Amino acid sequence: MNTSIRRIGFLTLVLFLTVSLRSAEPAASIWAGPILSQPFEKTPFHEIAIPAWVEETLGIGYTLSGQDAAQRARARAAGVSISELGFVDPFYPYYDSKLLLKRSPYVPLDHIGKEIAEYQRLGIRILGVYPPSLQGEVYEKHPDWRRIAENATQIPQMDLALYPHGGMLCLLGPYGDFFIDVLAEILTTFPQVDGFSFDGLHYGGVCYCAHCRENYRADTGRDIPNVNMDDPAFRRYQHWADRRMEALLQRLQSRLKAIKPGVALLTWTTNAGRFGHFRDIPRNMPARMNLLLDAPDQEFWLDESNRGATIVPAFGLAYIWALSNHRVAFSEAYLMSHGNPYGKDSFPAHEIERRMLLAVAHGVFPSIAVGQPPPMQAAIYHCLEEVQKRKPWITHKQPEPWAAMLMSDNTRNFYGRASHLVEDRYLANVFGAFRAALEEHLQCALIADWNLNPKDLAPFKVVILPNAACLDARQTGALREFVRNGGGLVATLDASLANEFGDLQTNFALADVFGADYQEFAASATNAPVPLDANFGRTLPPDYWEKRKNVWDLGRKRGAELDTPPLAALLGDQTVTLKAPAVRVLTNRASARVIATISPKTGSPAGAMPAVILNEFGKGKCAYLAAGVDAAYYLYPYPYQRMMLRALVDAVAAEPPGISVEAPLCVHVVATRQSSGGQRLVIHLYNDVNTSAFHALPNEDVPLREETLPIYGIRVTLRNYNIERLHLEPEGLTLQADSAPGRAIVTIPRLDIHAMLVAELR
């Protein structure tokens, strides 16, 4: 008996020590790698560590909360694995909250429990919804929590009888912590919740509430200035507000993951690639905040106001993947025939598949509103099933590195400075460079401001800076060392001419790398009106002459890097028209060569200025373009501009790309590497043909594709890969390559919309 008691006591002691030792072990951190710091940062910034289940989640299907059991079951069968469930709306909570006391007369308190049981029965994860900046009860009880959008102390008033939802609340002050409290209450009460989604998780660009005024004064000793992007003081305020918004997300993630480690923020973002959001200046949230979301979700609009018939939608998809640090990002294709008025009139079923598979091709998981009008409903299920077919080859991936192209949010905001100017001032450069890279099928990945560091740049052979004006000393230092150590750099216009606040400097921070010193913005002759043919003149729009400013003659140096066979065949020895912005630079370095010049159309060749400078720096090379060839290829394009950009990338790259593709310009090529369970190269091929393309008024055109035009005979060359097997997916077709030393050449028999060439590597 005593022996048994001693044994029980010993086992109890062992159990106690085991539990004590385990509890003493540090819990797994919710944070992943460190990210480049920004002004006003109080603690080191880390991206969030993504729960494993998020990496495997392809099926975000919105609108299930409004469907019946049979519709939900059909959506689940098509691949929907997570959907929304409302817990708080702008008027009421839908559960017995201790923090929000009003109760809905329309939604019974047992509604949430029944819905959770239904979702769990179907095996659908629950995405809890709460609109973060709009809640009528909070607006009524806490006037000091209201956002004040103008530089005034008067608190906004709203007639709550007419507008019971109230107005926008300020997330940068006490309401932000109340918001976190409500989410923690939901997760504690309903531990079945897997994630949260918010519409409008941002601070609106500026707030003058008493809390923001007090906090800004405490941190900086200054008052919040008027909204004026040309004012250096306001640009500094924006960085401060960005850090406050990020701090809210850091507290939110820490609180929720302490309750349930696997909970995730799979939510809408307002700064990740939709064209309308690109024009939000001042910005509503920093791009870096996307790294605090387990997976950002983008509103993917292809209507006329979002440049739907241009390169912009593809760029937006590539960009949101970049803002997740090429981990997990979602994009919901909005199925609108037109954006104004919004509607689905005559929306072709085929276009749904086009939009969802375009997202897949550019690294993004497509989300979708499952409930659609009857003519589109069957197509939704078909498209969800098409995405699921591709699952083995589209999760756990990174871009296959060769070229990196920077999209700088600091430049967009602090250099673009105005919503109506940012497209011409900055976005056109990035869109044009991206278009050229895509049409040339370059192995090119978008990167963000924080990726300009030695570790993130190391895998690439060439970096492209389209007019990336706003760079800090650490970023320019990393780029300088990248080139010095053998990397290639292509930069245009005002790259590195401003700091992280958008303050212009007297010279490029990278002048030594460019082999050029900044002088001034260059304007061509005024191009005053000249006599015109009467029949031509009567058709001119009022802005005809304004559009013909900054028109140049561009000439190339014979025998130099721009004297390539494609350019020679297209242009011969003649000069060519370039309509683009330009800067005047000086170059007097022995290592630099001018290989192209520009002259005003109405001037003389004797007044030629450097347009392209090739400079050797350390072990590497830089091509600097004082003429905005990249912007021109988006705003006023000629084919030679694409060929020029390609030739310059090739000229400075440390080594040739490992992947080259011979295909029509309309084929998108995106190369990724999967590393889970072995090494696998996946090359996405997307057919962007629109058989009715550009037949409508261009400013109003929207892609509403009704049919496929197949493409045959695409040739892919793989260099220096140790290939075990090649196959085409999702068809499951084994392909045979024509092999030569160090390379394999494979022909794709047919491309309809989207296919993946998969190389299993030894």
User: For residue 411, what pLDDT band results from cuts at 50, 70 and 90?
Assistant: very high
User: At 702, which amino acid appears?
Assistant: V
The verdict on residue 67 lying in a domain is: no
| Strand extents, DSSP E, 477-607 | 488-492, 517-522, 551-556, 576-579, 582-586, 592-600
Q: How far apart are CA 671 and CA 657, in angstroms?
A: 11
User: At 222, which amino acid appears?
Assistant: R
Domain boundary among 231, 246, 268: 268
* Residue 621 shares a structural domain with residue 685: no
State the alpha helices, DSSP H only, in 595-689.
Answer: 629-635, 639-652
Among 10-24, 134-148, 325-339, 732-746, which stretch is predicted with the lowest mean pLDDT? 10-24
The whole-number pLDDT of residue 527 equals 47
* Residue 645 shares a structural domain with residue 525: yes
**CA separation (Å) from 48 to 83, 107, 731?**
22, 35, 36
Query: Is residue 749 classed as helix, strand or coil in its secondary structure?
Result: coil
How many domains is the chain built from?
Answer: 3
* Residue 741 shares a structural domain with residue 634: no
Query: Is pLDDT of 371 > 70?
Result: yes
Please compute the mean of the pLDDT values over residues 696-705 and round it to a whole number: 91
Peptide bond into 366 cis (omega under 30): no
The whole-number pLDDT of residue 105 equals 94
Query: Is pLDDT of 383 > 50?
Result: yes
Please compute the mean of the pLDDT values over residues 159-188 and round it to a whole number: 97
**How many Å separate Cα 218 from the centre of its chain?**
34
pLDDT digits (tens, 9 = 90+) for 266-293: 999 999 999 999 999 999 999 999 999 9
Q: Do 259 and 180 touch, CB atoms closer than 8 A?
A: no
* Residue 581 shares a structural domain with residue 465: yes
* Residue 446 shares a structural domain with residue 574: yes
* Residue 629 shares a structural domain with residue 748: no
Domain boundary among 627, 655, 683: 655
The verdict on residue 354 lying in a domain is: no
DSSP string over 410-466: HHHHHTT-STTTHIIIIIHHHHHHHHHHHHTT--EEEE-GGG-SHHHHTT-SEEEES
The verdict on residue 42 lying in a domain is: no
* Residue 410 shares a structural domain with residue 523: yes
pLDDT digits (tens, 9 = 90+) for 115-147: 999 999 999 999 999 999 999 999 999 999 999
* Residue 110 shares a structural domain with residue 183: yes
What CATH number is given to the structural domain containing 233? Answer: 3.20.20.80
pLDDT digits (tens, 9 = 90+) for 478-537: 999 999 999 999 999 999 999 999 999 999 999 999 999 999 877 664 444 555 566 655
Q: Do 409 and 286 touch, CB atoms closer than 8 A?
A: yes
What CATH number is given to the structural domain containing 687? Answer: 2.60.40.1180
The verdict on residue 391 lying in a domain is: no
Angle 312-323/349-361 helices, nearest 10 degrees?
40
The verdict on residue 97 lying in a domain is: yes
Query: Is pLDDT of 726 > 80?
Result: yes
* Residue 474 shares a structural domain with residue 565: yes
The whole-number pLDDT of residue 233 equals 97
Question: For residue 86, what are the domain limits?
Answer: 81-268
The verdict on residue 549 lying in a domain is: yes
Closest CA to 465 of 121, 337, 478, 112: 478
pLDDT digits (tens, 9 = 90+) for 587-615: 989 999 999 999 998 766 667 999 999 99
pLDDT digits (tens, 9 = 90+) for 190-224: 999 999 999 989 999 999 999 999 999 999 999 99
The verdict on residue 689 lying in a domain is: yes
Query: Is pLDDT of 441 > 90?
Result: yes
Please compute the mean of the pLDDT values over residues 184-188 and round it to a whole number: 98
* Residue 549 shares a structural domain with residue 408: yes
* Residue 107 shares a structural domain with residue 242: yes
Instruction: Tell which wins on pLDDT, 246 or 23.
Output: 246
State the residue for tokens 């305020």. Answer: 237
* Residue 619 shares a structural domain with residue 674: no
The whole-number pLDDT of residue 394 equals 97
The verdict on residue 428 lying in a domain is: yes
What CATH number is given to the structural domain containing 511? Answer: 3.40.50.880
The whole-number pLDDT of residue 23 equals 36
Q: Mean pLDDT score of the chain, rounded to an integer?
A: 93
Domain boundary among 236, 251, 268: 268
User: For residue 693, what pLDDT band results from cuts at 50, 70 and 90?
Assistant: confident
Question: CB under 8 Å to 390, separation ≥6 — which residues?
Answer: 360, 729, 730, 754, 756
